[in-house]
Amino acid sequence: MKLNIRELNESDYDLLSKWWNDWGWTPVEKDMLPENGTGGLMIEKDGEPVLAGFIFWTNAKWAILDYIVSNKESSPRHRQHCLESLIVFAEEMVERADYKYLYSFTQHTGLIKTHRKFGWNISKNNIFKMFKTLKK
């Protein structure tokens, strides 16, 4: 299996929206994503997109890996391998940028288990993302 990790491009947003819909999730608005939907990474297996995630850079020494989504039609084994590759690559990328911390937020047990596999600290409390749209 040949993996390729690349930056997201403008044309990826429609595909990611389809993936969010396929999983029964509401697509994230482009203007809520870093770089208007291009501030993340796509993991491809043998040239086919399998999984993507976004990196939110802060002006402190921490970044956030979030809104991870995968192609529901890919095999669970391929999705898992791509998820692991995304986490490792994101950790390396953030560390190379001289950041100290990388956060990720989820309630998905599979994502939690995979993060734990790579030595992430898992909060023991339920954490809720809250946001309010201030302008329409």
pLDDT value of residue 81 = 95
Convert the pLDDT of each residue in 55-95 to its tens digit. 999 999 999 999 999 999 999 999 999 999 999 999 999 99
Beta-carbon count within 10 A of 102 CB: 18
pLDDT value of residue 84 = 95
Q: Are 21 and 11 in contact (CB under 8 A)?
A: no
Q: Which of 45-54, 86-95, 100-109 has the lowest mean pLDDT?
A: 100-109
Q: Work out the percent of the chain whose per-residue pLDDT is above 70.
A: 99
Averaged over 46-54, what is the pLDDT?
96
- The long-range contacts involving 46-52, CB below 8 angstroms and separated by at least 24 positions, are 46/1, 46/2, 47/2, 47/4, 48/74, 49/12, 49/15, 50/74, 50/78, 50/79, 50/82, 51/79, 51/82, 51/83, 51/86, 52/8, 52/12, 52/16, 52/19, 52/86
Sheet holding 62-70, edge to edge: 3-7, 40-45, 48-57, 62-70, 101-103
38: DSSP letter: T
Q: How far apart are CA 73 and CA 71, in angstroms?
A: 5
Q: Are 37 and 30 in contact (CB under 8 A)?
A: yes
Q: Where are the domains of the chain?
A: 3-117
pLDDT value of residue 93 = 96
Q: Are strands 3-7 and 48-57 parallel, antiparallel or unpaired?
A: unpaired
Considering the entire predicted model, what is its pTM?
Answer: 0.88
What class is the 3-117 domain?
alpha beta
Residue 115 has pLDDT above 90, yes or no: no
Residue 12 has pLDDT above 80, yes or no: yes
Averaged over 10-33, what is the pLDDT?
97
